[in-house]
Amino acid sequence: MTFASVVLDIPTRALDAAFDYAVPAALEAEAAAEASSCSGSLVGCTVLVPFSHRHVVGYVVALSSEPPAGIDPSKILEVERILASSAFDEASAEVARWIAREYSCPLCEAIRPFLAPGQTVKVRRASDADPWELVCEKSGPVDERWVSLTEAASSFEPRANASKQRAVLSALSGGPMRVVELSATLPGSAATVTSLERKGVVSVERRRRVRGQDATSLSSATAARPEHLTAGQREALCAIDAACESASGDVVVVDGVTGSGKTEVYLEAIERVRSRGGSALVLVPEISLTAQTVGRFRSRFGDDVAILHSRLSAGERFDQWDLARSGQAHVVVGARSALFAPLADLGLVIIDEEHEASYKQDSAPRYHAREVAARICRERGCALVLGSATPSLESLERCRAREWGGVTWTRVCMPERPGGATLPEVSVVDMTEQFASGRKHMFSKPLADALLDVARRREKAVLLLNRRGFANFLMCRECGAVPECPHCSTSLTYHERTHSLVCHSCERSWPIGTPGSPMRCPSCNSPYLGAYGVGTQQVETALADLLADADVTVVRMDADTTKGKGEHQRRLEEFDAAESAVLVGTQMIAKGLDFPQVTLVGVINADTTLKMPDFRAAERTFDLLEQVAGRAGRGERAGRVIIQSYWAGHPAIQAVRTHDRDLFVTSELAERRDGNYPPFSRLANVLCWGRSESDVRRVLDGVAAELRSRTEGRPGWEVLGPAECLKSRVKDRFRRHILVKAPVGEELGPVLDACVRAQDKPRGVNVAIDVDAYDMM
């Protein structure tokens, strides 16, 4: 008999191990009949099992022909049903165990990312008479009916009055058609098709329709093979080949300036892996990049590419995921969640723009894609490539050490752009001097002149502002009140187009004023409300005024304008198709986009991220400015970058101006070392929230006391707090947190997990553990 280790889908820290069940022969045969390319056994299947006098959903993570030691096989309960076919294999199950331990989350939460998209299988309480019912919601394949003519159609002659048969035969003479399309063209033709099928004149077959294969019209979404590679590209490929040959999970950091041809390195490396029969996975940080990136990869690999990201519908994600599982696609491109695609014979994992904070998951399991990818590569014996023009300080430090986590880290520099293209000229405008000279406009004189020059020369520009909305906040000039969200401890952002105040924490909104009537203070009813700060809507309006006499298309991209499905791609295509245009947006436009016609990049306010209360603020600012600067001058025409700042002398800004990263990195690493922050330590954030402030305080005080007692005397450990979060209230929940520093190489997850488990948490109080935290707000 076969025995299965099953992880129960009960998200609690109390169940931290798998349970053993017997597998009936009938179920074993069923699993073998439905075996997929991902797994030829029950491993990875979703099953129904008895547990504690009820039925629960579980996931098979291992099989054994021997019963658990010391247990009578006849007393082991049996698996009752297979609810979903295999979605992962033993190696993925091992990675899930590592995620649960490393990031301190229940094992079932670590498994869920590996499941088929759209799968929701659970057991819920129904009624007293029938207390439990099974709810299965799963995306699946869509089969469409196609009709085509047979050989008999050439000699078939319809009756003289059979007009519908003649019309159907005429429509099919051009080739097969979907039945739904035929019915739309010729209403009532479904019955005619059935009649003709009985006579053998037409044949009807079912074909799988693959969703999520939309094409793009972006001119830059092609990957023409260059005549020759640069020296940096050849060196990078040699390093990647060596990492692939070692088959031990080695890491190659491709440190290439913007526009240096990193994508061509990825394409060449994947071609070599595919020639050896392997598959490849490519991650990009922003959904806005997928259309352009997928277009390039499909121009090289055709239909061998699948795409996975959150803006696809559940059905589209399932079809693309299933292409990988069934072996029909061997290259997967997508955002963070694509990391768990069920590719067989994985030979290469590539993380583009690896420095991006978006690779850190902000909900359970709170993993970092870079670390999970490294673990996957170790388990599967493949190479990991991290590409960026601004590698993270953690990656640079690991390359300096050469050995990290049992694998070799190699850094390859690509300092030149191919084809003689040069890096753009960067100038920094001190806005304090502009203000002192009497100019109070959001566009400094140099930037305004440059925008007008772009319009005159019929070129394109990109304007970056990391704030959406019209203004950061409103303030009453009579009573000084600033409208705040009644449910969150944040001020409301004014959106001029909708005449509303919006909370960007809980997304609630309130109307304020109407066209033609003044806004009034919600506290004193005064009409004297002032808008402070600058948002993307305001930049768009000011830009339209500046370029009123020029025929220039203005395209805005932020979280408000790209909410709808396909909006990222549609707006980029609009910008690409225009003769002369300006793209205004938040950080989603700052990375990865390749438009050779862009000759000017402007940064409205470089200080937005620089002054955030976060030890990574300077690094994020440098990365953002360096990345957005790289959008300029990628074609034949030289590029120009204008950065507006009130802190023009900061090392991060000066490093971008001079294209000298060391100017920033040297000072930043010194500050990090003094403060014992990453990459010289590990950092975790323990967050507690609930409706009762006193309960939140009591629980987190207990966690802090337990932490201090467990880490007392251990060098390098430090517990900061508890303290209120910067956002001390969100959605009517009070929030407090603890920051924990530990030496590099220490396992934070198990220690924090034990401290949280030791607390008696009342109903309504939640505790989240974020290891290697990026968000401390």
- Residue 514, pLDDT > 70, answer no
Identify the CA nearest to 654 among candidates 598, 590, 600, 606. 606
Mean pLDDT of the region 431-448: 89
Report pLDDT for 468.
55
Print the SS3 string covering 514-528. Answer: ECCECCCCCCCCCCC
> What burial letters (b/e) apply to 650-660, b meaning 16+ CB within 10 Å?
bbbbbbbbeee
pLDDT in tens, 54-90: 889 999 999 998 888 888 888 899 999 898 889 999 9
**Residue 452 pLDDT grade (very low, low, confident, very high; cuts 50, 70, 90):** very high
SS3 for 544?
helix
Lowest mean pLDDT among 207-221, 355-369, 461-475, 582-596: 207-221
* Residue 23 bridge partners (DSSP): 2
Helix segments in 277-411, DSSP class H = 290-301, 314-325, 369-380, 393-401
DSSP-derived letter for residue 360 is: B
**64 vs 345: CA distance, rounded Å:** 24
The dihedral region occupied by 636, where left means phi > 0, alpha psi between -120 and 50, and beta the remainder, is alpha
- The per-residue pLDDT for 419 is 78
pLDDT at res. 366: 95
Q: For 326-356, write each residue's pLDDT tens digit.
A: 999 999 999 999 999 999 999 999 999 999 9
Amino acid at the residue 641 = V
Domain boundaries, the chain: 2-137, 142-209, 231-419, 421-467+536-674, 472-532, 682-771
Residues 6 or more apart whose Cβ sits within 8 Å of residue 226? 261, 264, 418
The mean pLDDT of the chain is 88
For 130-193, the DSSP string reads S-EEEEEE----EEEEEEEE-GGGGG----TT-HHHHHHHHHHTTS-EEHHHHHHHSTTHHHHH
Evaluated on CA atoms 401, 403, 405, 411, the torsion sign reads: positive
What's residue 503's pLDDT? 86
**Residue 26: which residues within 8 A CB-CB, separation 6 or more?**
none
Q: What is the pTM of this model?
A: 0.86
**600 touches 462 (CB < 8 A):** yes
User: Are 231-419 and 421-467+536-674 equal in CATH topology?
Assistant: yes
Amino acid at 351: I
* Mean pLDDT of the 541-555 span: 91
**Token pair of 144, please?**
């469409």
Structure tokens at 639: 């590029």
Q: Assess contact for 350 and 283: CB atoms under 8 A.
A: yes
- Residues 95, 654: Cα–Cα separation, whole Å: 42
Using DSSP bridges, classify how beta strands 132-137 and 120-125 pair: parallel, antiparallel or unpaired. Answer: antiparallel
Across 693-716, average pLDDT? 95
Element (H, E) at 272: helix 262-275
Cβ count within 10 A of residue 128 = 6
Express each pLDDT in 401-416 by its tens digit.
999 989 999 999 999 9
pLDDT at 263: 93
Residue 476, burial from CB neighbour count under 10 angstroms (0-12, 13-18, 19+): buried
Q: 531 φ, ψ to 5°?
A: -95, 125
Pairing of the two strands 733-742 and 766-771: unpaired
In the prediction, which pLDDT does 37 show? 40
CB 492 within 8 A of CB 533: no
720 bridge partner residues: 739
231-419: CATH number: 3.40.50.300
**Cα–Cα distance for residue pair 605/305, rounded to 1 Å:** 39
Angle at 60 between CA 56 and CA 64, to 5 degrees: 125
Task: Please choose, from the candidates 525, 584, 527, the residue with its C-alpha nearest in 3D space to the C-alpha of residue 554.
Answer: 584
Contacts of 662 (CB under 8 A, 6+ apart): 655
Give me the helix-helix angle, 231-246 and 262-275, nearest 10°: 40
Asked if residue 219 has pLDDT above 60, the reply is no
Q: Which CATH class is domain 682-771?
A: alpha beta
pLDDT-derived band at 264, boundaries 50, 70, 90: very high
Distances in whole angstroms, Cα of residue 219 to Cα of each of 174, 293, 520, 596: 32, 12, 48, 10
Q: How does pLDDT run across 131-157, given as a tens digit for each residue?
A: 556 677 666 677 778 899 998 988 898
Tell me the pLDDT tens digit for each residue of 588-645. Answer: 888 777 888 999 999 998 887 887 888 999 999 999 999 999 999 888 888 999 999 9
Residue 599 is predicted with a pLDDT of: 94
Q: Which residues contact 658 (CB under 8 A, 6 or more apart)?
A: 426
Cis, peptide link before residue 176, omega less than 30° from 0: no
3-class SS of residue 550: coil
Whether residue 750 contacts residue 104, with contact meaning beta carbons closer than 8 Å, is answered with yes
**Both tokens assigned to 188:** 């009532």
Which pLDDT value is given to residue 291?
A: 73
Whole-Å CA distances, 292 to 141, 261, 263, 494, 617 = 26, 15, 11, 33, 29
What is residue 369's three-state secondary structure? helix
Closest CA to 756 of 12, 10, 9: 12
Does position 36 have pLDDT exceeding 50, yes or no? no
Q: Is the Cβ–Cβ distance between 227 and 236 less than 8 Å?
A: no
End-to-end CA distance of the chain, in Å? Answer: 53
pLDDT at 224: 78
Residue of higher predicted confidence among 721 and 128: 721
- DSSP β-bridge partners for residue 352: 387
Evaluate the omega torsion of the peptide bond into residue 365 and state whether it is cis, within 30 degrees of 0.
yes
- CA 7 to CA 44: how far, in whole Å? 10
Mean pLDDT of 725-752: 93
Exposure string of 407-443, with b = 16+ CB inside 10 Å and e = fewer, is bbbbbbebebbbeebebbebebbebeebeeeeeeebb
- Higher pLDDT, residue 534 or 757: 757
Q: pLDDT value at position 633?
A: 86
**What tokens does 171 get?**
């429509």
**pLDDT bracket for residue 15 (50, 70, 90):** confident
Quote the DSSP letter at residue 87. Answer: -
Query: pLDDT > 90: what percent of the chain?
Result: 56
Cα–Cα distance, 96 to 275 (Å, whole number): 30
Per the listing, tokens 């690999």 go with 301
Cα gap 689→11, rounded to integer Å: 18
Q: Does domain 2-137 have CATH number 3.60.140.10?
A: no
Class of domain 421-467+536-674: alpha beta
The Cα–Cα gap between 475 and 738 comes to 33
Task: From 105, 120, 117, 41, select the one nearest 79 (Cα to Cα).
Answer: 41
DSSP 509: E
User: What average pLDDT does the segment 279-300 reach?
Assistant: 85
Among 306-320, 332-346, 441-455, 486-500, the range scoring the smallest mean pLDDT is 486-500
Q: Is the pLDDT of residue 39 over 50?
A: no
